[in-house]
């Protein structure tokens, strides 16, 4: 295969990945970081990361998800340096979802990520452990604590 | 599946539905892929392990002042079918046995809802004028060079000398942080008020700070902060006062997940809305060093310029110790402010 053909094939794989995953990844990142512009920026960075390592990656989609979540985690850590609160909820949310937005924003970032991956992403805790790169038991522990905190705050 | 988790899924879905994808996203990604120099810098951001960051920082020193040549997208033409589907078969991870922990087993039940595929078809052509000064945009990387923003309601230009990115940008304020260590911050804001110690100690406080925006001295005194410098100066020809301040760890404040915190300021809004006030104040913690310039704006809310040095990873806690002097010597003199004017409305 010529270098040009190989590059065309690589671009094709990335474009297919973009078509399949981009919108869903932005939705996931937005649910975590609460800013649309930041979510897109993080997801686009993650695509560049995938493109650079495509030759070494067996499962680009799975790698992309891990990269997005990793960047969201990093963004949340950066933000806590000076932000006391996360962004306000979008105006069009129902009161229940707006309340969840606030409570979710007060969770430690690891619990927040695990809860969102579980109840928005639909992943099992064993899958979450792989995506976030933590032991399964830790993922379940974050999930249990996060759920307990949400239940307490949302029920009160 | 309980009523509670059903509600959780529904509400999270509703939040995610507010996300939108830019029609030029694929073009933006291609541009980033074509710019390996920019990527070398960006790569550092994704690292989540502090030890990895420190190692990367050590390696990354040689990349400091790297000239990042890429320009902002000039002509963006994108057409594409964006299909989001989290049920990609690529997550092929065997389920863990769940019988060892009955609680965990219940947590590993398959959820009743999954992320619905979303399909968006867009064809857009946009043309943007060529820029010699980069506009500071939310979530964007800033290459070394001049940048401008009108987010404060008055135009502001400044030069940066290393790759930075926006950590936060909204009407009335913005934050930049360095890409290499994420410990060096620039925060510029229109000040609506400074909080008293009582307000600062109340984690539910959601009003404009009671201390007048020009009265930094009262804020420092009331919050029992430690000020080691107070000098009159000028910024772009305007009268200003500069302070070096730290929070006193012995003084009670409210607590964040980083420990004790003190409120710093409330952002000025033309029509102050208590409903959004809680998200319009900022905090500092004792580990940070802060140099603050308060710049007078005739007849309107003043502008505060903060250089903030946050601690680095445990093995390099003082990684940004020279940042305040560096900022004052390099970036601060490049700041140019436009004509006096009011803060920008929130929405």
Q: Which residues pair with B212 in a beta bridge?
A: none
Quick one: average pLDDT of B214-218? Answer: 91
Nearest to B305 by CA among B242, B233, B252: B242
Of the partner residues B11, B83, B95, the one whose CB lies closest to the CB of residue A19: B83
Answer with the residue of higher pLDDT: A22 or B84.
Answer: A22
pTM of the model: 0.49
Structure-block tokens of residue B60: 């990354």
Answer with the residue of higher pLDDT: B331 or B225.
Answer: B331
Structure-block tokens of residue A74: 């990093």
Quick one: average pLDDT of B72-95? Answer: 21
3-state secondary structure B245-281: EECCCCCCCEEECCEEEEEEEEECCCCCCHHHHHHHE
Answer with the residue of higher pLDDT: A75 or B251.
Answer: A75
pLDDT above 70 (res B253):
no
pLDDT above 70 (res A147):
yes
Structure-block tokens of residue B77: 């033409």
Mutate: best of A78, A81, A86, A126, partner B, most B CBs <10 A:
A81
pLDDT computed for residue B234 by the predictor: 93
Quick one: average pLDDT of B183-202? Answer: 83
- The pLDDT tens digits of the residues spanning A103-146 come to 888 888 888 999 999 999 988 888 898 888 888 888 888 899 89
pLDDT above 70 (res A44):
yes
The interaxial angle of helices A109-119 and A3-33, nearest 10 deg, is 110
Quick one: closest CA in B to A57, which residue? B90
- The pLDDT tens digits of the residues spanning B10-41 come to 999 999 998 989 888 998 898 888 865 444 33
pLDDT computed for residue A79 by the predictor: 63
Say how many C-beta atoms besides its own lie within 10 A of residue A44's C-beta. Answer: 26
- The pLDDT tens digits of the residues spanning B307-338 come to 988 777 667 777 788 899 999 999 999 999 99
The answer to whether residues B177 and B184 touch, using CB atoms and an 8 Å cutoff, is yes
The answer to whether residues B347 and B271 touch, using CB atoms and an 8 Å cutoff, is no
3-state secondary structure A9-77: HHHHHHHHHHHHHHHHHHHHHHHHHCCHHHHHHHHHHHHHHHHHHHHHCCCHHHHHHHHHHHHHHHHHH
Mean per-residue pLDDT over chain A, rounded: 85
> In chain B, pLDDT over 90 holds for what percent of residues?
19
Structure-block tokens of residue B185: 């911050």
Rounded Cα–Cα distance for residues B291 and B309 (Å)? 9
Q: Which of residues 70-129 of A touch B (CB under 8 A)?
A: 70-71, 73-74, 77-90, 92-94, 96-97, 100-101, 108, 115-116, 118-127, 129
pLDDT computed for residue B47 by the predictor: 26
Quick one: closest CA in B to A102, which residue? B279
Quick one: average pLDDT of B69-80? Answer: 20
- For residue B255, CA distances in Å to B202, B212, B258 come to 9, 24, 7
Quick one: average pLDDT of B273-300? Answer: 72
- Say yes or no for a CB contact (<8 Å) between B91 and A59: yes
pLDDT computed for residue A4 by the predictor: 83
Angstroms from B165 CA to nearest CA on chain A: 11
Mean per-residue pLDDT over chain B, rounded: 67
pLDDT above 60 (res A85):
no
pLDDT category at B1 given cuts 50, 70, 90 is low
pLDDT computed for residue B165 by the predictor: 82
pLDDT computed for residue B9 by the predictor: 92
Judged by average pLDDT, the poorest of B18-22, B213-217, B248-252, B298-302 is B248-252
pLDDT computed for residue B271 by the predictor: 52
């Amino acid at each position: 295969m010529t270098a040009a053909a190989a590059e065309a094939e690589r671009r094709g794989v990335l474009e297919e990945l973009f078509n399949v995953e981009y919108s869903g990844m932005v939705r996931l990142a937005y649910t975590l970081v609460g800013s649309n512009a930041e979510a897109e920026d993080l997801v686009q960075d993650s695509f560049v990361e995938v493109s650079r390592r495509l030759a070494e990656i067996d499962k680009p989609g799975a790698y992309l998800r891990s990269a997005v979540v990793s960047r969201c985690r990093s963004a949340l850590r950066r933000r806590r340096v000076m932000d006391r609160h996360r962004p306000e909820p979008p105006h069009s949310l129902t009161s229940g979802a707006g309340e969840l937005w606030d409570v979710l924003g007060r969770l430690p970032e690891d619990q927040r990520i695990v809860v969102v991956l579980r109840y928005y992403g639909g992943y099992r805790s064993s899958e979450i452990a792989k995506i976030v790169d933590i032991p399964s038991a830790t993922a379940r522990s974050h999930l249990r604590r996060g759920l307990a905190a949400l239940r307490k705050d949302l029920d009160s | 599946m309980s009523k509670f988790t059903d509600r959780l899924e529904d509400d999270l879905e509703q939040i995610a539905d507010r996300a939108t994808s830019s029609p030029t996203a694929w073009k933006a990604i291609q541009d980033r892929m074509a710019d390996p120099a920019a990527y070398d810098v960006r790569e550092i951001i994704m690292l989540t392990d502090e030890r990895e960051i420190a190692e990367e920082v050590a390696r990354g020193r040689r990349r400091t002042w790297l000239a990042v040549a890429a320009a902002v997208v000039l002509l963006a033409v994108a057409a594409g079918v964006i299909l989001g589907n989290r049920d990609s078969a690529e997550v092929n991870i065997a389920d863990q046995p769940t019988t060892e922990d009955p609680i965990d087993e219940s947590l590993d039940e398959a959820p009743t809802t999954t992320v619905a595929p979303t399909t968006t078809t867009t064809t857009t052509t946009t043309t943007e004028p060529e820029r010699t000064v980069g506009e500071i945009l939310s979530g964007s990387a800033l290459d070394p060079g001049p940048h401008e923003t009108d987010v404060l309601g008055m135009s502001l230009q400044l030069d940066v000398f290393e790759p930075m990115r926006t950590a936060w940008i909204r009407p009335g304020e913005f934050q930049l942080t360095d890409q290499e260590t994420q410990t060096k911050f620039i925060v510029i804001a229109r000040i609506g008020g400074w909080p008293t110690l009582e307000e600062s100690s109340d984690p539910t406080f959601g009003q404009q700070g009671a201390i007048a925006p020009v009265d930094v001295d009262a804020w420092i005194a009331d919050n029992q902060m430690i000020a080691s410098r107070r000098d009159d100066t000028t910024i772009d020809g305007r009268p200003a006062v500069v302070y070096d301040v730290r929070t006193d760890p012995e003084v009670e404040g409210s607590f964040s997940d980083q420990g004790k915190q003190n409120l710093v300021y409330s952002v000025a809004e033309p029509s102050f809305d208590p409903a959004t006030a809680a998200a319009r104040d900022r905090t500092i913690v004792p580990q940070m060093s802060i140099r603050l310039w308060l710049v007078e704006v005739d007849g309107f809310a003043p502008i505060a310029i903060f250089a903030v040095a946050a601690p680095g990873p445990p093995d390099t806690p003082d990684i940004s110790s020279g940042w305040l002097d560096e900022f004052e010597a390099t970036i601060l003199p490049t700041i140019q402010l436009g004509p006096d004017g009011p803060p920008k409305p929130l929405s």
